[in-house]
Amino acid sequence: MASIDRSGREFTWNVTFTDIHPDFRARSGFITRAGDTQLDARMTVNRFGRPGAILERTSITASAQNFFDHNEFWSGSGLFEHELNIMPSFTFRGGRTLTFMIRNGYFRFQPERYANYTTLDGDGSQSPFLIPEALKNLKAFMVFPRIRLTNEFSLNGSFMARETAIFAEASRGFELQARPEIQWSPTDRLELSLDHTFSKISRVSSKQHTMVPNEIYSTVHITNIKAQYLFSRALMARMILQYDLDQREALKDPATGRQLTIFGQAQAASSTGEFQGQFLLQYEPSPGTIFYIGFSRLMEGERSYRVSTMNPVEEGLFLKLSYLFRI
């Protein structure tokens, strides 16, 4: 990894190069996008208002992200994913911000990722799956409001309409996504948050080049509830509950509309529900001395908020004790 940057009050920029070999294995932690080479650039210009002004700061950021296959990059081949973003942002008095993002992207499907795909013909036979052409001019518009109503209560969120790649069937899609979030701190010890993500992805015909959806591909609802209570400076408890409700249609060949198979198995429509619960108790009497005890449960079943319709599939209990010896 290599990076070069310049930081200033009114003008900043940076360029970052990251290259991860496909055979790299992390001994600790998790490395995303192993086998990719990434080249990013970012530039921001800030303008500040007068002291006491309602509009405290205006900024605009231009950024570019470019992804290459590791082997293709070093052999001189082109990229397979590219994004160009323009982000104007406005910061108002009282810690309120409003940010917009306009994006144009490019994505090329990699044939090796679909080597086990075939299409199901009308007579039950299977034909080779032909990789579609690269998706160009993937347009997007996003809004990110952050509103602090009081010192205890704030509203945040993200809202977007974008063209995107549907990786599971190598097609062009159009996504509408909304993610409102509520944060409430009624006391200095208690913090509560609730956020809900709604995402609907529709297919866009390969013959169209506009953001006009044809039919729904998937609908997702993700609800997350978090509570944290500080009993003292050393003792803290945290609980996280999350529902993930997903409905997806059968995979189709974007060129012929025929059903797709993977390893010879037809990929039918699915409707699933998932519930995750996590509880953590943390005790840290002094720096370097810490004790954790946590419990987690994962349940799967019907696409419903009723836990009674789900079955537990995974449970975990973990302990951690760390003590710093001072010599």
Report pLDDT for 212: 53
Pair (122, 224) in one structural domain: yes
* Domain span including residue 39: 1-93
Report pLDDT for 100: 97
| 174 and 135 Cβ atoms separated by less than 8 Å | no
Pair (187, 314) in one structural domain: yes
Which of 66, 93, 120 represents a domain boundary (last residue)?
93
Report pLDDT for 207: 59
Pair (4, 124) in one structural domain: no
Pair (133, 208) in one structural domain: yes
Pair (114, 237) in one structural domain: yes
Which of 48, 67, 93 represents a domain boundary (last residue)?
93
Report pLDDT for 32: 74
Which of 93, 110, 136 represents a domain boundary (last residue)?
93
Distance CA 250, CA 136 (A): 25
Cα Dmax for the chain: 78
Pair (285, 194) in one structural domain: yes
Q: What is the pLDDT along the chain (327 residues), one digit of tens a residue?
A: 899 999 989 999 999 999 888 887 766 666 777 888 999 999 999 999 888 899 999 999 999 999 998 888 888 888 899 999 999 999 998 889 999 999 999 999 988 889 999 998 888 888 999 999 999 999 999 999 999 988 899 999 999 999 999 999 999 999 999 999 999 999 999 999 999 999 999 998 765 555 556 789 999 999 999 999 999 999 999 999 999 999 999 999 998 889 999 998 988 999 999 999 999 999 998 888 899 999 999 999 989 888 888 999 999 999 999 888 877
Report pLDDT for 82: 94
Pair (28, 45) in one structural domain: yes
Report pLDDT for 211: 52
How would you classify the pairing of strands 96-107 and 117-120? unpaired
Distance CA 293, CA 238 (A): 11
| 280 and 238 Cβ atoms separated by less than 8 Å | yes
Report pLDDT for 213: 60
Whether residue 259 is contained in a domain is answered as: yes
Report pLDDT for 224: 97
| 114 and 254 Cβ atoms separated by less than 8 Å | no
Identify the CATH number of the domain in which residue 277 sits.
2.40.160
Report pLDDT for 326: 73
Report pLDDT for 30: 65
| 239 and 278 Cβ atoms separated by less than 8 Å | yes
Burial 294-313 (b: 16+ CB within 10 A, else e): eeebbbebebeeeeeebeee
Report phi then psi at 62, rounded to 5.
Answer: -115, 130
Distance CA 280, CA 254 (A): 45
Helix or strand holding residue 73 (H, E):
helix 70-74
**Closest to 98 measured CA to CA, from 134, 60, 63, 147:** 147
Report pLDDT for 274: 95
Number of structural domains (the chain) is: 2
Tokens of 106: 């490019």
Report pLDDT for 242: 96
Distance CA 66, CA 13 (A): 16
Pair (82, 113) in one structural domain: no
**Closest to 318 measured CA to CA, from 289, 274, 288, 282:** 282
Report pLDDT for 323: 84
What are the residues whose beta carbons fall under 8 Å from the beta carbon of 53, sequence distance 6 or more?
93
Report pLDDT for 13: 95
Amino acid in the structure at residue 215 = E
Whether residue 327 is contained in a domain is answered as: no
